């Protein structure tokens, strides 16, 4: 599995594209906000002859949804998100105004994903791991074969997701990280929703929120 990270929009969200040898790809949290960001995403996909087949969201906060409309319009994909965050999708336009970043209302979700779902594309799979706390429906996407976790805003390099937004729960987040993510192999690379990558082993050893 191959992965490409883009950092988009005024909140510096990490959007990722993952693909394999079939050239089928999945777009996760397409956070492009400015026209040049939309063109950057499109140019990468077209230049590498990729075929987008899924649009996934780690959670429903507005900054991670900003590119959903562009992806739907360009490749005809409906987003897949956990049902507990569907209300955040519906409220994203208002939520963005609270942060002074007006955005169009994102399109409605096309499918709700659940803990343990195995999402396929090409010859590859991503397993859905439900870890609420940052938002009620936060999920991570895990490739056991490639030791890769796209974790959204659940876990960061030396930190964890904020829980002071509506629907956040710090105790729930920490217990979910410990029970569901820290049990993964230490060499698993974590692509975070903001900031640099990390790995499970480093966070297990050094993350002050988990020790």
DSSP string, 74-86: HH-PPEEEEGGGH
Domain 2-206 CATH assignment equals 3.40.50.1820? no
Q: Say what the pLDDT of residue 202 is.
A: 98
Residue 211 has a pLDDT of 86
**3-class SS of residue 177:** helix
Q: What is the pLDDT of residue 98?
A: 86
- Specify the pLDDT at position 49: 98
Cβ neighbours for 209, distance < 8 A, ≥ 6 positions apart:
159, 160, 174
pLDDT number for residue 132: 98
Q: Where are the domains of the chain?
A: 2-206
Q: What is the sign, positive or negative, of the torsion defined by CA atoms of 117, 163, 37, 157?
A: negative
pLDDT value of position 94: 87
The radius of gyration computed from the CA coordinates of the chain, to the nearest angstrom, equals 16
User: 13-65, pLDDT tens digit by residue?
Assistant: 999 999 999 999 999 999 999 999 999 999 999 999 999 999 999 999 999 99
> Three-class SS of residue 97?
helix
Q: Which residues in the chain land under pLDDT 50?
A: none
């Amino acid at each position: 599995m191959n992965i490409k990270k883009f950092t988009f929009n005024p909140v510096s969200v990490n959007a990722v594209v993952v693909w394999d040898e079939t050239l089928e790809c999945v777009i996760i949290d397409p956070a492009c906000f400015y026209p040049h960001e939309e063109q950057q995403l499109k140019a990468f996909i077209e230049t590498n002859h990729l075929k987008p087949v899924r649009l996934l969201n780690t959670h429903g906060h507005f900054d991670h949804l900003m590119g959903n409309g562009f992806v739907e319009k360009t490749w005809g994909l409906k987003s897949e998100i956990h049902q507990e965050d569907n209300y955040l999708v519906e409220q994203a336009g208002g939520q963005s105004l609270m942060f002074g970043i007006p955005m169009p209302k994102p399109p409605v979700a096309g499918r709700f994903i659940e803990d343990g779902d195995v999402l396929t594309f090409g010859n590859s799979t991503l397993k859905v791991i439900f870890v609420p706390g940052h938002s009620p429906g936060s999920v991570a996407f895990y490739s056991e074969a490639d030791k890769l976790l796209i974790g959204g805003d659940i876990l960061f390099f030396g930190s964890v997701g904020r829980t002071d937004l509506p629907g956040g729960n710090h105790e729930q987040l920490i217990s979910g990280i410990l029970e569901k993510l820290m049990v993964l192999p230490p060499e698993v690379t974590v692509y975070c929703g903001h900031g640099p990558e990390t790995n499970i082993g480093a966070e297990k050893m050094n993350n002050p929120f988990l020790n």
